[in-house]
Amino acid sequence: MSVQMHQNVSLRDLNSFGIRAKADHLIYVDTLEKMQEAIAIELAPKMVLGSGSNVLFTKTYRGLILNNQIAGISIVEDKSTYVKVQVGGGVNWHSFVQWAVARDLGGVQNLALIPGTVGAAPIQNIGAYGVEFDSVFVSLEAVDLSTGEVRVFTKRDCAFTYRSSIFKTDRKGQYAVVNITLRLSKHEHVLSLDYGAIQGELEKRKIATPKLADIADVVCCIRQSKLPDPKTIGNAGSFFKNPIIPRSQFAELLVQYPDMVSYPADKRYIKVPAAWLIEHCGWKGYRQGDVGVYEHHALVLVNHGAGSGIAIYNLAKRIQRSVQEVFGIELTPEVNIL
Ligand SMILES: Cc1cc2nc3c(=O)[nH]c(=O)nc-3n(C[C@H](O)[C@H](O)[C@H](O)COP(=O)(O)OP(=O)(O)OC[C@H]3O[C@@H](n4cnc5c(N)ncnc54)[C@H](O)[C@@H]3O)c2cc1C
């Protein structure tokens, strides 16, 4: 056997919440063949872990964790206006963004500094600053965790929606993403600058015609000013998704809360920032023991040190209940609770 199994492993450095949970078994996997070899081991359940920046461990993982470290970035098609790039599932997402920006390949610059691995990006269709992962996605290769068979998923197969895909719904926990293929633009880039503070920050820097590197740099600065660094305070970014509610319900809420913030979702629905709802229920900056709500961003639950996964989970439940009671809106976790 070429894979090495570790037993009774601490997951503290393998999750951005810094939760002191353990796993019964763990294997670091850096090739497709090793992934298949590990899958063939008769241990259950099995799960893939990337950088652990979107998981909350509430108990010991009584199974086998496959830590994805599959590397490699290669251009598989080079046309006059675009390239197709295949990227290993274990590559760090931000390193890949830097790789693309350095070659003036457009499409992922707004997604700079999102923590995690490339293989996890399709799972919740990562998004930020007006751009979602599926806008550059072509296909992926994944291994069936029960049979070891390799399967190709097209964009249609993945059923991407806001912070979700088939890998978070119908096929949850069933596949290990080993590589993805993305299409990036050459020369003529479509830039998305309207979201958040990007335009304002570019103006401050007196940049009228931004290059991809300028946009990535601005996004990094804005993110660093808003979000806590998991190395300093344990967190998994946004804990909940922004709820999408019917426009009729929003109109009723506006009567009582005229300053409620919203973004259009489609003709019939409105997206409400979960941070606004949580803040208006009084949770921003809340702390009990070592767990709490980040003082500068109400959507980020934090572990100040020795907080447990179950304490964060219980806090999340209390927040959900109060938002439901006050606004009649259900908050859904974005973070994967284990
Ligand atoms: C400070 C901070 C800011 C963040 N900002 C954003 C943001 O702006 N936008 C955004 O969308 N997300 C954001 N996130 C969440 C996180 O960065 C993404 O969800 C990221 O894709 C998680 O990658 P990971 O490798 O850490 O996944 P993990 O946390 O290891 O895993 C997440 C889930 O995906 C599954 N998974 C992981 N890898 C694979 C694979 N190869 N095959 C199959 N399943 C897999 C796991 O089983 C788990 O269910 C943020 C997180 C933090 C800590």
**Domain parsing of the chain, residue ranges:** 5-68, 73-204, 234-337
Name the residue at shortest CA distance from atom 19 of ligand 1: 54
CA 199 – ligand 1 centroid, Å: 27
Name the residue at shortest CA distance from atom 22 of ligand 1: 116
Q: Is 236 in the pocket of ligand 1 (CB under 6 A)?
A: yes
Rounded distance, CA 129 to CA 127, Å? 7
Task: Show Cβ contacts of residue 104 under 8 Å, excluding neighbours closer than 6 positions.
Answer: 186, 187, 211, 212
Residue type, 283: W
Q: Is 222 in the pocket of ligand 1 (CB under 6 A)?
A: no
162 closest CA partner among 195, 215, 125, 190: 125
Task: Return the DSSP state at 109.
Answer: G
CA 258 – ligand 1 centroid, Å: 35
Residue 197: the pLDDT is 85
CA 49 – ligand 1 centroid, Å: 9
CA 66 – ligand 1 centroid, Å: 15
291 closest CA partner among 304, 275, 279, 278: 304
Residue 118: the pLDDT is 98
CA 80 – ligand 1 centroid, Å: 33
Pairing of strands 55-56, 336-337: parallel
Q: Virtual CA dihedral for 230, 235, 236, 240, nearest 10 degrees?
A: -150
Name the residue at shortest CA distance from atom 47 of ligand 1: 48
Tokens of 287: 């702390």
Q: Is 126 in the pocket of ligand 1 (CB under 6 A)?
A: yes
* 74, 76, 120, 185, 219 from 188: Cα distances, Å: 21, 20, 28, 7, 20
Q: Is 55 in the pocket of ligand 1 (CB under 6 A)?
A: yes
Rounded distance, CA 125 to CA 247, Å? 25
CA 117 – ligand 1 centroid, Å: 7
Pairing of strands 46-49, 61-68: parallel
Residue type, 43: L
Q: Which CATH architecture fits 5-68?
A: 2-Layer Sandwich (3.30)
Rounded distance, CA 289 to CA 287, Å? 6
Residue 73: the pLDDT is 98
Q: Is 70 in the pocket of ligand 1 (CB under 6 A)?
A: no
CA 52 – ligand 1 centroid, Å: 7
Rounded distance, CA 69 to CA 49, Å? 10
List the catalytic residues: 163, 238, 334
Residue 1: the pLDDT is 61
* 2, 33, 49, 177, 248 from 126: Cα distances, Å: 33, 27, 16, 15, 29
The residue whose CB lies within 8 Å of the most ligand 1 atoms, and thus the one to mutate among 56, 123, 164, 167, is 123
Residue 197 phi/psi, 5-degree rounding, is -100, 15
Tens digit of pLDDT at every position of the chain (338 positions): 689 999 999 999 999 999 999 999 999 999 999 999 999 999 999 999 999 999 999 999 999 999 999 999 999 999 999 999 999 999 999 999 999 999 999 999 999 999 999 999 999 999 999 899 999 999 999 999 999 999 999 999 999 999 999 999 999 999 999 999 999 999 888 888 887 689 999 999 999 999 999 999 999 999 999 899 999 999 999 999 999 999 999 999 999 999 999 988 888 999 999 999 999 999 999 999 999 999 999 999 999 999 999 999 999 999 999 999 999 999 999 999 99
Contact 43, 320 (CB under 8 A): no
Q: Which fold has domain 234-337?
A: 3.90.78
Name the residue at shortest CA distance from atom 23 of ligand 1: 116
**Would you tell me the crossing angle of helices 212-226 and 93-102 to the nearest 10 degrees?**
150
DSSP 156-220: HHHT-BTTB-GGGTTTTTSEEEEEEEEEEEESS------STTHHHHHHHTT-SS--HHHHHHHHH
The residue whose CB lies within 8 Å of the most ligand 1 atoms, and thus the one to mutate among 53, 70, 167, is 53
The residue whose CB lies within 8 Å of the most ligand 1 atoms, and thus the one to mutate among 28, 34, 46, 54, is 54
Residue 253: the pLDDT is 95
> Looking at domain 73-204, which of 3.40.640.10, 3.30.930.10, 3.40.50.300, 3.30.465.10 is its CATH number?
3.30.465.10
Contact 102, 209 (CB under 8 A): no
Q: Is 122 in the pocket of ligand 1 (CB under 6 A)?
A: no
Sort 231 into a burial class: Cβ within 10 Å, 0-12 / 13-18 / 19+. Answer: exposed
Residue 291: the pLDDT is 97
Distance of CA 16 to the CA centre of its chain: 12
